[in-house]
Amino acid sequence: MGQAGEGGLGRERIGVFVCHCGRNIAATVDVKKVVEKIMEHPAVVHAEDYDYMCSRPGQELIERAIEEKRLTGVVVAACSPSLHETTFRETVERAGLNPYKCEIANIREQCSWVHEEVDKATEKAIRVIRGVVEKVIRNEELKPVEVGLHKKALVIGGGIAGIRAALDIANAGYQVILVEKKPTIGGHMAQLAETFPTLDCAQCILTPLMSEVANHPNIKLLTLSEVIDVEGYVGNFHVKIRKNPRYVDPEKCNLCDNCTKVCPVTVPSEFDEGLSLRKAIYIPFPQAVPSSYLIDPEACLGMNPVICGKCAEPDVCTPGAINFHDQPEIIEEDVGVIIVATGYELYKPENLSEYGADKYPDIITSLQFERLLSPNGPTGGIPRRPSDEKIPKRIAFIHCAGSRDEKHVPYCSHICCTYCTKHGLLFKELVPDAEVYSFYIDLRTVGKNYEDFLRRAQEEAGIQFIRGKVSKIYEEDGVVKILAVDTLLNRRIEVEVDMAVLALPMVPADGIEELASKMRIQIDNNGFLQELHPKLHPVESATPGIFLAGAAQSPKDIQDTVAQASAAASKALEILSQDKISHTPIVATVNRDLCSGCRLCLSACPYGAIEMVDGRAEVNEIICEGCGACVSTCPSRAISLRNFTYEQLDAMIEAVAGGI
Amino acid sequence: MSEEFEPRIIAFLCRWCGYAGADMAGTSRLKYPPTIVPIRVPCTGRIEMEQVLKALKRSDGVLIAGCHTPGDCHYVRGNFQCFKRIALLKKLLRQMGINPSRIRLEWISATEGRKFARVVREFTEELKELGPLRRVE
């Protein structure tokens, strides 16, 4: 070996600190042997092991060694760098070392936790550490690049998550652009009747927040709008938003409702989940924000003025708010942070044809049932079944109608057990002599005070909970028949009811994949947005400056959604409250003497960070994200990625492959 | 070859997906053979052919794991760049008389710990079949 003596690297004095992580590492990796072996490396002047390197005494041990042994670089062999890289870089900085002279060798997640034989795991740990030692030896001392930022936030999605996050940021004194795809904010929560476990009316707690958004001087609300492009990086995102035409000027519309009286077109109402009809000119619901009617261009006949245009007659729309020539608009904004709160949709009933919601009128979805229970719903809060408008006397709630089912969605939708319980309780209150059945796989009413809520339903309200998976539901002569297996009694049962309500899975909102790819954030196995780390960074995405809130990240109830929205807002404010933000110094650099000016790197760079200056490539350090695509493209080896150079990679390959 | 043969695999793992997927395998305590030594890279697009060959020279097989194509690459399209290079490199290996399956490119997301463990198990078995790569010094 002895390469440490070459190329001016001989002065490097590296310290290696091997963590036991209790028994997490030490049970599978012989840490004493690792220390002994790594000391053989010519550049390693100090090596030691300790129970918990990330603890205060562990960090002090590193600081002391840096001072006493005059270390020039540190390798901490411990857990994954995604956990404590920042921790240990701060540690070495306190002892006067440049933070970029500290690297992590992962001997837990990728070694001790996945292997069983001690000698082999130990050998692997030594190889991994040797590789990282070679990297640290060649790491440059770097300083983060400081840049200014736009003190403005973009919140995507105007449901309860987006509303809460936007209000938190706006109340802290920063500008917010709130973008909502639909004509009104409020999301699914606006459709709900009452909310568990307190049975507060959803509208009563939501609509004040909606009007606060409408009136907030720091919030710019864009409805019927979609984010179509995101460029840039934390602090300096440039976004393009398409605002679709409303055809009604919200400034002029006075909500007189004359227009709907003359409109000849009726279509199913989205807000009532198809249980009522609306006109082609409509307001989604009376408390909608912005408080204005709009025209559905797909349904309206007036887009061709020869055919219709009744609503725009001066004696109908007296303020003259209707404009058939309204055009889509592209709005460009510069923001510092983005919160993605695009929410959920229900799994499509037609995907679950064995349960019949797409074929039979009295087999409905849970959101439709919310509308039936809602005082502003199609039946005025009296639950009538769609086929004959009779009040059902027997009703069944089907939990897990597609959730926890490999054929549909494998995950638990988290809120269904509790809302089915709520539906049962509310229905019993309205129809006290009704028979109520709840079919479940497991009852998962997890949350503060939810257990009491469940007990009330089981013991006081007399709802019959049947543990069993439903195999088929169909309607015959006005009777809904449910075939199931009671798994506690281990027998097949058939239950006849007047109406069945399906708790369909929560799935991510349509178009989330496209949006995620524009923002370079990841999607998990189930299609939800992936957080950076489930425990340490639950609201951060993998892209710095982009945060996640609500059901877009995973199915969750209103309580958790609001908590997460406020958490995402506070993380966003952490960035907005700074005057400068630092950008990674791990960027590409060009050796002008070697650059031939071939321009291949220009097309390799996904960020447009490279430009030609006097016939040679030059990297804009603020735009460069440090991916290295240009480095591997350059035929002259003129571009190098800082702290990830050819020499480093070569030395690492050599070190991990060498004999033990 | 004797049954004792344990292949050595050098793995280039992109920090956002492949490396995070390997971390996930650890967090889930999934077991796989200790044949693999990982090197964390910013993006699979950073890896050039020459360094894959260098790694192959010092091992029996090289694994490269990055973000799923098309849209998952944290740096937009580094995974594509890598895909094209590896396809070319495999052709080159064939001409050199080296079995191209000694280089394995996989798309493994941050949540696919199970896939990472499976790939290492499979690749190890495959390399055991192929036997050691004779190195010419």
Instruction: Identify whether residues A500 and A528 lie together within a single domain.
Output: no
Q: What pLDDT sits at residue A72? A: 97
Does B61 map to a domain? yes
- For residue A216, pLDDT beyond 90: yes
Name the amino acid, one letter, at A174: Y
Q: Are B31 and A116 an interchain contact pair (Cβ–Cβ within 8 Å)?
A: yes
Q: What are A627's strand-pairing partners? A: none
Per residue in A494-538, pLDDT tens? Answer: 999 999 999 999 999 999 999 998 887 888 889 999 888 788 789
Does B136 map to a domain? no
Q: Give the helix ranges, DSSP H, for A118-201.
A: 118-138, 160-171
Q: What pLDDT sits at residue B35? A: 96
Q: Which of B30, B40, B84 to mutate to test the interface with A (most CBs of A within 10 A)?
A: B40
Q: What pLDDT sits at residue A9? A: 64
Cβ distance A609 to A620 under 8 Å?
Answer: yes
Contacts of A461 (CB under 8 A, 6+ apart): A424, A425, A428, A436
Does B58 map to a domain? yes
| CATH number of the domain within which A569 lies | 3.50.50.60
Per residue in A118-143, pLDDT tens? Answer: 999 999 999 999 999 999 999 999 99
Does A279 map to a domain? no
In degrees, to the nearest 5, what angle opens at C-alpha B11 toward C-alphas B8 and B12? 155
Q: What are A492's strand-pairing partners? A: A485
Report d(CA A47, CA A31) in Å as an integer. Answer: 11
Instruction: Identify whether residues A408 and A532 lie together within a single domain.
Output: no
By the CB < 8 Å criterion, does A134 face chain B? Answer: no
Per residue in B86-99, pLDDT tens? Answer: 999 999 999 999 99
Distance from CA of B1 to the nearest CA of A (A): 21
Q: What are B33's strand-pairing partners? A: none
Does B110 map to a domain? yes
- For residue A234, pLDDT beyond 50: yes
Output DSSP code: residue A644: S
Cβ distance B12 to B41 under 8 Å?
Answer: yes
Q: What pLDDT sits at residue B10? A: 97
Q: Tell me which chain A residues have a C-beta less than 8 angstroms from the C-beta of B45.
A: 604, 627-629, 632
| CATH number of the domain within which A604 lies | 3.30.70.20
Residue B137: pLDDT band with limits 50, 70, 90: very low
Q: What is the mean pLDDT of residues A95-122?
A: 97
Does A294 map to a domain? no
Q: What pLDDT sits at residue B3? A: 59
Q: Count of domains in chain A?
A: 4
By the CB < 8 Å criterion, does A109 face chain B? Answer: yes
- For residue A8, pLDDT beyond 60: no
- For residue A1, pLDDT beyond 50: no
- For residue A333, pLDDT beyond 80: yes
Per residue in B3-34, pLDDT tens? Answer: 579 999 999 999 999 999 999 999 999 999 99
Report d(CA A268, CA A278) in Å as an integer. Answer: 6
- For residue A218, pLDDT beyond 70: yes
- Token reading at A358: 């797409």
Instruction: Identify whether residues A551 and A597 lie together within a single domain.
Output: no
Report d(CA A564, CA A534) in Å as an integer. Answer: 13
- For residue A7, pLDDT beyond 60: no
Contacts of A305 (CB under 8 A, 6+ apart): A324
Does A468 map to a domain? yes
Collapsing DSSP states into helix, strand and coil, what is residue A307?
coil
Residue A298: pLDDT band with limits 50, 70, 90: very high
Report d(CA A238, CA A334) in Å as an integer. Answer: 5
Per residue in B40-78, pLDDT tens? Answer: 999 999 999 999 999 999 999 999 999 988 767 888 889
Does A253 map to a domain? no
Q: Are B23 and A116 an interchain contact pair (Cβ–Cβ within 8 Å)?
A: no
Q: What pLDDT sits at residue A521? A: 85
Nearest-by-Cβ selection for B29 from A113, A120, A646: A113
Residue A302: pLDDT band with limits 50, 70, 90: confident
Q: What are A501's strand-pairing partners? A: A364, A397
Name the amino acid, one letter, at A573: L
> SS in 3 state form for A475-506?
EECCEEEEEEEECCCCEEEEEEECEEEECCCE
Q: What is the mean pLDDT of residues A4-33?
A: 85
Cβ distance B36 to B72 under 8 Å?
Answer: no
Q: Are A629 and B71 an interchain contact pair (Cβ–Cβ within 8 Å)?
A: no
Q: Are B39 and A656 an interchain contact pair (Cβ–Cβ within 8 Å)?
A: yes
Does B76 map to a domain? yes
Final residue in a domain of this structure, among A557, A576, A595:
A576
Q: What pLDDT sits at residue A660? A: 77
CA quadruple A363, A364, A369, A371: dihedral positive or negative? negative
- For residue A579, pLDDT beyond 60: yes
Q: Give the helix ranges, DSSP H, for A242-357.
A: 258-262
Q: What pLDDT sits at residue B135? A: 62
Q: Are B78 and A110 an interchain contact pair (Cβ–Cβ within 8 Å)?
A: no
Final residue in a domain of this structure, among A576, A597, A628:
A576
Owner of token pair 């070569």 = A650
Q: Tell me which chain A residues have a C-beta less than 8 angstroms from the C-beta of B54.
A: 650, 653
Residues in chain B, how many?
137
Q: Which of A522, A528, A610 to mutate to test the interface with B (most CBs of B within 10 A)?
A: A522
Does A317 map to a domain? no
Task: Tell me the pLDDT of chain A averaged across its residues.
Answer: 94
Q: Are A606 and B75 an interchain contact pair (Cβ–Cβ within 8 Å)?
A: yes
In degrees, to the nearest 5, what angle opens at C-alpha A535 toward C-alphas A529 and A539? 40
Per residue in A403-412, pLDDT tens? Answer: 999 999 999 9
Report d(CA A37, CA A30) in Å as an integer. Answer: 11
Q: Are B72 and A522 an interchain contact pair (Cβ–Cβ within 8 Å)?
A: yes
Report d(CA A634, CA A643) in Å as an integer. Answer: 17
Cβ distance A619 to A583 under 8 Å?
Answer: no
Residue A583: pLDDT band with limits 50, 70, 90: confident
Final residue in a domain of this structure, among A144, A169, A186:
A144
Instruction: Identify whether residues A503 and A458 lie together within a single domain.
Output: yes
Q: What pLDDT sits at residue A192? A: 97
Domain that holds residue A618: 587-641
Q: Tell me which chain A residues have a C-beta less than 8 angstroms from the C-beta of B118.
A: none
Closest CA to A398 of A488, A482, A476: A482
Q: Count of domains in chain B?
A: 1
- Token reading at A547: 């945060």
Instruction: Identify whether residues A352 and A377 lie together within a single domain.
Output: yes
Cβ distance A159 to A340 under 8 Å?
Answer: no
Distance from CA of A409 to the nearest CA of B (A): 17
Strand A145-147 relative to strand A581-583, pairing? antiparallel
Name the amino acid, one letter, at A659: G
Instruction: Identify whether residues A353 and A215 lie together within a single domain.
Output: no
Report d(CA A134, CA A555) in Å as an integer. Answer: 44
Per residue in A618-652, pLDDT tens? Answer: 998 888 889 999 999 999 999 999 999 999 999 99
Residue A447 CB neighbours (<10 A): 17
At residue A176, φ and ψ (nearest 5 deg) are -130, 135
Domain that holds residue B103: 9-130
Q: Which of A23, A114, A533 to mutate to test the interface with B (most CBs of B within 10 A)?
A: A114
Q: Tell me which chain B residues have a C-beta less than 8 angstroms from the C-beta of A653.
A: 10, 39, 51, 54-55, 58
Report d(CA A61, CA A53) in Å as an integer. Answer: 8
Nearest-by-Cβ selection for A522 from B32, B55, B109: B109
Does A367 map to a domain? yes
Report d(CA A101, CA A73) in Å as an integer. Answer: 5
CA quadruple B35, B40, B46, B48: dihedral positive or negative? negative
| CATH number of the domain within which B107 lies | 3.40.50
Q: Tell me which chain B residues have a C-beta less than 8 angstroms from the C-beta of A524.
A: 109, 111
- For residue A2, pLDDT beyond 70: no
Instruction: Identify whether residues A199 and A233 lie together within a single domain.
Output: yes
- For residue A6, pLDDT beyond 50: no
- For residue A233, pLDDT beyond 70: yes
Residue A559: pLDDT band with limits 50, 70, 90: very high
Q: Tell me which chain A residues have a C-beta less than 8 angstroms from the C-beta of B81.
A: 604, 629, 632-633
Instruction: Identify whether residues A469 and A371 lie together within a single domain.
Output: yes
Taking each helix axis from N to C terminus, what angle separates A56-68 and A81-94, rounded to the nearest 10 degrees? Answer: 50
Does B135 map to a domain? no
- Token reading at B47: 């890896």
Contacts of A609 (CB under 8 A, 6+ apart): A588, A619, A620, A623, A624, A625
Question: In chain B, which residue's Cα lies nearest the Cα of A125?
Answer: B37
Proportion of chain A above pLDDT 90, given as a percent: 90
Instruction: Identify whether residues A469 and A397 lie together within a single domain.
Output: yes
* Helix, strand counts (H, E) of chain A: 15, 34
Q: What pLDDT sits at residue A517? A: 85
Does B104 map to a domain? yes
Proportion of chain A above pLDDT 70, given as a percent: 98
Stretch (H or E) spanning A213: helix A202-215
Q: What is the mean pLDDT of residues A395-403?
A: 96
Per residue in A263-276, pLDDT tens? Answer: 999 999 999 999 99
By the CB < 8 Å criterion, does A604 face chain B? Answer: yes
- Token reading at A388: 């004959």
Q: Are A80 and B58 an interchain contact pair (Cβ–Cβ within 8 Å)?
A: no
**A-B contacts (CB, under 8 Å):** 142
Distance from CA of B45 to the nearest CA of A (A): 5
| ipTM of predicted assembly, 2 dp | 0.96
Q: What pLDDT sits at residue B75? A: 85
Residue A3: pLDDT band with limits 50, 70, 90: very low
Q: What pLDDT sits at residue A5? A: 39
Question: In chain B, which residue's Cα lies nearest the Cα of A588?
Answer: B46
| CATH number of the domain within which A125 lies | 3.40.50
Cβ distance A329 to A146 under 8 Å?
Answer: no
Nearest-by-Cβ selection for A124 from B27, B37, B110: B37
Instruction: Identify whether residues A196 and A182 lie together within a single domain.
Output: yes
Taking each helix axis from N to C terminus, what angle separates A416-430 and A366-373, rounded to the nearest 10 degrees? Answer: 30
Q: What is the mean pLDDT of residues A448-468?
A: 92
Q: Tell me which chain A residues have a C-beta less than 8 angstroms from the C-beta of B64.
A: none
In degrees, to the nearest 5, what angle opens at C-alpha B71 toward C-alphas B67 and B73? 35
Nearest-by-Cβ selection for A627 from B37, B78, B109: B78
Q: What is the mean pLDDT of residues A40-44?
A: 95
Q: What is the mean pLDDT of residues A231-240?
A: 92
Q: Which of B37, B79, B112, B118 to mutate to test the interface with A (most CBs of A within 10 A)?
A: B37
CA neighbours closer than 13 Å in the CB half-sphere of residue A599:
5
- Token reading at A455: 């007990």
Q: Which of A109, A521, A546, A639 to mutate to test the interface with B (most CBs of B within 10 A)?
A: A109
Closest CA to A112 of A22, A18, A28: A28
Name the amino acid, one letter, at A392: P
Report d(CA A46, CA A64) in Å as an integer. Answer: 11
Output DSSP code: residue A70: T
- Token reading at A271: 């807000």
Q: Are B26 and A644 an interchain contact pair (Cβ–Cβ within 8 Å)?
A: no
Q: What is the mean pLDDT of residues A215-240?
A: 95
Report d(CA B84, CA B62) in Å as an integer. Answer: 16
Each residue of A314-329: b (16+ CB within 10 Å) or e?
eebbeeebbebebeee
Strand B9-14 relative to strand A639-641, pairing? unpaired
Gap between the terminal Cα atoms of chain A:
12
Name the amino acid, one letter, at A64: R
Does B1 map to a domain? no
Q: What pLDDT sits at residue A543? A: 83
Instruction: Identify whether residues A31 and A137 lie together within a single domain.
Output: yes
Distance from CA of A134 to the nearest CA of B (A): 12
Q: Are B26 and A110 an interchain contact pair (Cβ–Cβ within 8 Å)?
A: yes
